[in-house]
Amino acid sequence: MLSQKTLDQISAAISSVLPQQLTHDVRKNMNAALQSALERLDLVTREELEVQEAVLARTRQKLEELEKKVAALEQRHGSQ
């Protein structure tokens, strides 16, 4: 979920290119539509992505260690 600060920044960027004559209500409706559209996109924050990257890195490391152990066991079993 995007933070309100991020949504405000996106809205401000869009508002800066819109004509100044737009009423407050039009801008408010635009912000609501933008927020609704972004929420439907099921976006994740940078922090959430980094957490998942760290989890994946640890999982890969454990997998590599297990693969080495299995290979060593297979080699030991094959030599007996």
Look up residue 13 and give its amino acid: A
Average pLDDT over residues 23-39: 79
**Cα distance from N-terminal residue to C-terminal residue, the chain:** 56
Helix, strand, coil percent values for the chain (each to nearest 5)? 80, 0, 20
Same domain, 36 and 60: no
Buried b (16+ CB within 10 A) or exposed e, 12-35: eeeeeeeeeeeeeeeeeeebeeeb
Q: Are residues 37 and 1 in the same domain?
A: yes
* Residues 40-80 pLDDT 10s: 887 788 899 999 999 999 999 999 999 999 999 999 988 66
Domain of 61 in residue numbering reads as: 45-80
Residues 1 and 22 in one domain: yes
Verify that 50 and 77 share a domain, yes or no: yes
